[in-house]
Amino acid sequence: QYILAIETSCDETAVAIVKNERELVTNVVASQIESHKRFGGVVPEIASRHHIEQITVTLEEALKEADLRIDDMDAITVTEGPGLVGALLVGVNAAKSIAFAKQKPLVGVHHIAGHIYANRLEKEFEFPLLSLVVSGGHTELILMKEHGSFEIIGETRDDAAGEAYDKIARTLKLPYPGGPEIDRLAAEGEESIDFPRAWLEQGSYDFSFSGLKSAVINRLHNADQKGETLRPEDVAASFQASVVDVLSTKAYRAAEEYGVKQLIVAGGVAANKGLRKALVDKFEESETELLIPPMHLCTDNAAMIAAAGAVAYNQGHRSGWDLNANPGLDLEQYGNRKHSAEN
């Protein structure tokens, strides 16, 4: 069984093919980072235009690399949300056109379900499992009792982890995207500044990064006024220590409380070396198996959409020709819909 997937939710135009749910055949990602760099972030209009320019060549490249044709595909899957509406529309319309022209089943996929399922290309899932989703727009702890069902047990109350990284990087005048830059600097710095950790109420699995962000900005501002020089490496290391401490501690606590078989890390911030190391250390002695995706499956790609889409397809889910981009698609509702609806 071959599943084709298209992902255009943000600034990567991506097409992938997955065989028999778990075998990655091809994974083509056309990144637009260079075009957005001089604006310090993703410009939605530029993203849409790039997707339009890239979608056909990316699709052709994926098919060519796999030495397969659309006719060989069992289903066409696509990210329907969440993301930038103009960006999502390019992928959704491409998927609908291909599926309609070739009379193939069409399946809309939730972007975060994709980030989670990226891990299944490496290792089979064992339920119940807990996923720590840390990306540019999301920071969540998600409990899965079976395929395609998602229960959010904690989430950020303000900024996402990736967003915090990008904002602090901008304050430090580092290029976009800031996450990898801070990660690189942090490795060379000392955790010499004591930044706050937002533990929130006892037992809460929610997150908050806005207080930390303000603390870093204030500390830099104070240093500036006093003519004191702070090494950016130390600021990066101290900031990262706060983020990683909270993420890894809460993920570990939740994994213990829910007695999950696996803790799965997902999203762009899963590429963070500090976070990867902290989790490996925390889970070393644990009964819970830790799954961290390889670097190329952490940030946006279509392989993850194919992996999630293949399961949805095999569970019987189909999207109609009225499938639309849904920038605010809810993960729990998406999961419930998959079990009940056949549209």
Positions touching ligand ATP (CB under 6 A) are 9-10, 83, 111, 115, 135-138, 162, 165-166, 177-180, 183, 267-269, 271-272, 299-300
Q: Measure Cα distances from 252 to 240, 256, 272, 287, 322 in Å.
A: 18, 6, 17, 11, 42
Q: Smallest Cα–Cα separation from 78: which of 142, 162, 16, 155?
A: 16
Instruction: Provide φ and ψ at 122, rounded to 5°.
Output: -105, -35
- Residue 338 binds which of ligand ATP, Fe ion, Mg ion, none (CB < 5-8 A, kind-dependent): none
Please indicate if the annotation marks 91 as binding a ligand: no
d(CA 135, CA 112): 9
| Interface positions, 9-68, toward Mg ion (CB under 5 A) | 10-11
- Residue 177 binds which of Fe ion, ligand ATP, Mg ion, none (CB < 5-8 A, kind-dependent): ligand ATP
Nearer to Mg ion, 183 or 300 (CB): 300
Number of residues that bind Fe ion (CB under 5 A): 2
Candidate ranges 6-14, 80-88, 248-256, 308-316; the one touching Mg ion (CB under 5 A):
6-14
Nearer to ligand ATP, 63 or 174 (CB): 174
104: left (phi over 0), alpha (psi -120 to 50) or beta: beta
* Residue for token pair 């600097």: 185
Cβ(267)–Cβ(135) under 8 Å? yes
Please indicate if the annotation marks 272 as binding a ligand: yes
Q: Which of 48, 79, 135, 319: binder of Fe ion (CB under 5 A)?
A: 135
Q: Which of 98, 300, 302, 326: binder of Mg ion (CB under 5 A)?
A: 300
**In the bound complex, what is the minimum distance in angstroms from residue 42's beta carbon to Fe ion?**
11
Q: Smallest Cα–Cα separation from 7: which of 71, 72, 62, 45?
A: 62
Number of residues that bind Mg ion (CB under 5 A): 3
**In the bound complex, what is the minimum distance in angstroms from residue 287's beta carbon to ligand ATP?**
28
Residue 5 gets which letter from DSSP? E
Please indicate if the annotation marks 133 as binding a ligand: yes
The reply to whether 166 sits near Mg ion by the rule CB under 5 A is: no
Please indicate if the annotation marks 179 as binding a ligand: yes
Cβ(78)–Cβ(48) under 8 Å? no
Cβ(213)–Cβ(168) under 8 Å? yes
Nearer to Fe ion, 84 or 241 (CB): 84
Please indicate if the annotation marks 166 as binding a ligand: yes
Please indicate if the annotation marks 135 as binding a ligand: yes
Nearer to ligand ATP, 64 or 277 (CB): 277
**In the bound complex, what is the minimum distance in angstroms from residue 209's beta carbon to Fe ion?**
17
Please indicate if the annotation marks 51 as binding a ligand: no
d(CA 302, CA 66): 14
Candidate ranges 30-38, 142-150, 167-175, 296-304; the one touching Fe ion (CB under 5 A):
296-304
Q: Would you give the distance in Å from CA 322 to the centre of its chain?
A: 26
The residues that touch Mg ion, with contacts defined as CB under 5 A, are 10-11, 300
Extract the annotated binding site for Fe cation: 111, 115, 300
The residues that touch Fe ion, with contacts defined as CB under 5 A, are 135, 300
